Amino acid sequence: MGTATTGQVILVGGGPGDPDLLTVGGLRALREADVVLYDHLAPLTCLEETKAGAVLIDVGKIPRGCQTAQTDINALLLEHAGSGANVVRFKGGDPFVLGRGSEEWLACAAAGIPVRVIPGVSSAIAGPELAGIPLTHRGLTQNFSVVSGHVGPEHPATTVNWDALAKSSGTIVILMGVAHLQEICAGLINRGLDAETPAAVVAKAATSDQRVIRGTVASLPDIAAAANIEPPALIVIGAVVGLDLGPAIPTTATKE
């Protein structure tokens, strides 16, 4: 444990899965940590980089599976940092993109625990990119939106402006939405999005199990259902999905 009476918390974005996408600063923080609270979407092989004696705590949240409540995660952060430990909160993607990192920051700040964030490569950008889908392309699309599909467009609890999204003409990236793919695609079409807009699901991006399913907003739900997509997966919609960049050189994560 650290020598100071109060430790600190570093929120580290681990990127979408490939250890190569963890930042140099994130890796340094992991190596120096006394305690690591990690999620399942973080690149778990990087935990091998922690020092001897580091305490590793699994607070993973598996959809519809065993979960650690956010209040319990916050309490663990405060407990360990409060007793002097240098704590890393190791998260998938970027901590502040639909990742509740800012809630953890606020909990630390309220308790007087020093806190900082090391940004990570978000799956919202890396997922499409590794599937050969650029979020923007000159002459085609100059804007993109990243939204949560945790609840679909017809759900009373949604705070996403699906009407504006359907008319945005930019690329739409939807995280946590594959379970509601049918409702999302139908909802966007009903709100004015061209049903023939190219669309894709990217599953397990940045891993050797990455899969890309392509179709149109109208056809994607049936194609994805037949393909038995496993989480984590994201949806990307827009003209850029129709671009064909051709094959990529395999990466350390994707080559056999």
Ligand X SMILES: C[S@@+](CC[C@H](N)C(=O)[O-])C[C@H]1O[C@@H](n2cnc3c(N)ncnc32)[C@H](O)[C@@H]1O
Least distance between ligand X and beta carbon 175 (Å): 4
Site string for ligand X, 11-50 (x = CB under 6 A): -----xx-----------------------x---------
Q: Exactly one of 34, 39, 91, 94 is catalytic; which is it? A: 39
Give the dihedral of Cα atoms 174, 178, 180, 186; nearest 10 deg: 70
Assess 234 for contact with ligand X (CB under 6 A).
yes
Instruction: Single out the residue of 77, 172, 176, 213 in contact with ligand X (rule: CB under 6 A).
Output: 176
Active site residue 176: yes
CB of 231 to ligand X, least distance (A): 6
The residue nearest ligand X at its CB is: 93
Residue 53's nearest CA partner among 68, 35, 66 is 35
Give me the least distance between CB of 150 and ligand X, in Å please. 8
β partners of residue 199: 215, 237
Active site residue 61: yes
Region near ligand X per CB under 6 A, out of 51-59, 121-129, 191-199, 241-249:
121-129
CA distance between the termini of the chain: 40
At residue 34's C-alpha, the angle toward residues 32 and 36, to 5°, is 95
Q: Which stretch binds ligand X (CB under 6 A): 71-79, 155-163, 182-190, 201-209?
A: 201-209
Contact between 145 and ligand X per CB under 6 A = no
| x-marked contacts with ligand X along 69-98 as a string, rule CB under 6 A | -----------------------xxx--xx
What is the set of active-site residues? 39, 61, 176
Q: Which residues form the interface with ligand X (CB under 6 A)?
A: 16-17, 41, 92-94, 97-99, 122-124, 127, 175-176, 202-206, 231-234
